[in-house]
Amino acid sequence: MALNIFETFFKSHHKKILILCHQNADPDALCSAYAIKNLVAHLFPGIELLIGSDDLNKISNGILEDLQIPLAKNFNIELFDAFIIVDTNNVEQLGCYRSVSTLSKPIMFIDHHTPHLSTTQITKYVVIDETSSSTAEIVYNLFKEAGIKPSPDTAMALLIGITYDSKHFLLANASTFKAATDLIDAGADYTSVVERLRILMPRSERIARLKAINRAQISDVRNWLIAVSNVSAYEASACRALIETGADIAIVGAERKNEIRISARATQNIHKKTGIHLGKLMEELGTIVEGMGGGHSTAAGFNGKDNYTKAINHLLKLIKKQLENAPPAPID
Ligand SMILES: [Mn+2]
């Protein structure tokens, strides 16, 4: 089924295609893009496929070198016939390549996040599975459906993507493990995957986390603890630090020259007990404040312009409104 959509997209005689990762591309995005490039080389030789990303996160930079993944730079996006957007649920997250949606060219999304409303308006080519641990698992299933065994390098890349996004199989289901064993059979080595993903947290990230905790404002809504803070970088990591420290919901904003970025995280506990879905709230925020948001139930983000205080206050209001009608947190 997914392979049908994938093949139909390529059969439209596209000659030069760009695969795009979200900004600050993580190993799931980068490795998925690399594996798609190799799958297409098997299925449709003759198509020129390039991988692009506004920037890569630190771990991805290491993987890029290790696996010698060709990342294209300084290209003109107008020279491509079509685009594949991986591990990204809205074009706003493409950073400097966000204008691809205005080029009136075919676009395909391959992703495991909750699709943004705009996605289905932009294109009919969507290979999205929200139940999948990672985009890499979706890409592996395309190989499987096509009856193609990934090369050892491709298998390695896919296992890196799956391991990273499933948090070393903490968020895995049976199909995640099945994909992993198939990839190990195809030549991937799990010990090397773990070694590649193990890096020390940079000092600047540790400082950002400590500052976020120091600056946190805490709201108590029906015993649920919401922590709001700000940093100049590492907002997602700062959110995780606040959650690890004890918040039920963490919101961390970062304000840069002409843009604001907000990350939010919630515990599985508050999501299960109150039904709160941060991805949906971030999407709603995009209809109130200029910008675009989305994500998963317990991890979401928002990108906007020049409206930091307004965006944070509105998000907090949306969360409070929902919690006021939800079951309270049990007090210990
Ligand atoms: Mn992912």
DSSP string, 107-158: EEEEESSPPPHHHHHH-SEEEE-TTSS-HHHHHHHHHHHHT-PPPHHHHHHH
Q: How far is the CA of 223 from the centre of ligand 1 (A)?
A: 32
Q: Domains (ranges, CATH) in the chain?
A: 2-197 (3.90.1640.10), 204-324 (3.10.310.40)
Return the pLDDT at 186. 98
Distance CA 213, CA 247 (A): 10
How far apart (Å, rounded) are the C-alpha atoms in residues 20 and 30?
9
Structure tokens at 35: 């594996």
Ligand 1 centroid – CA 32 distance (Å): 9
Instruction: Provide the pLDDT for residue 11.
Output: 85
pLDDT of res. 254? 95
Expressed in angstroms and rounded, the spacing between residue 280 Cα and the centre of ligand 1 is 18
220 Cα–ligand 1 center, Å: 32
CA 254, 329, 235: angle at the middle one, nearest 5?
Answer: 10
Distance CA 161, CA 166 (A): 8
**What distance in angstroms lies between residue 129's CA and the mean position of ligand 1's atoms?**
11
- Distance of CA 133 from the midpoint of ligand 1 (Å): 8
Q: How many CB atoms lie within 10 A of CB 322?
A: 16
Ligand 1 centre to CA of 161 (Å) is 8
State the distance from the centre of ligand 1 to the C-alpha of 160, rounded, in angstroms. 11
Res 332: pLDDT: 80
- Taking the C-alpha atoms of residue 288 and residue 292, their distance in angstroms, rounded to an integer, is 10
Digit-coded pLDDT (tens) for 261-272 = 999 999 999 999
pLDDT of residue 103: 92
Q: For the stretch 140-166, what's the b/e string if a residue is b when 16 or more beta carbons lie within 10 angstroms of its beta carbon?
A: bbbbeeeeeebeebbbbbbbbbbbbbb
Residue 230: per-residue pLDDT: 97
Indicate the residue type of 255.
E
Rounded distance from Cα 165 to ligand 1 centre (Å): 6
Q: What is the pLDDT of residue 200?
A: 60
Q: 219: CA distance to ligand 1 center in Å?
A: 30
Residues of the chain below pLDDT 70: 200
CA dihedral 46, 143, 138, 237 (to 10 degrees): -80
Centre of ligand 1 from the C-alpha of residue 82, in Å: 22
Q: Which residues pair with 111 in a beta bridge?
A: 128
pLDDT digits over 89-118, tens only? 888 899 999 999 899 999 999 999 988 888
Span from the CA of 329 to the centroid of ligand 1 (angstroms): 30
CA of 36 to the centre of ligand 1 (A): 14
Q: Which residue has the tokens 């995009």?
A: 286
CA of 199 to the centre of ligand 1 (A): 19
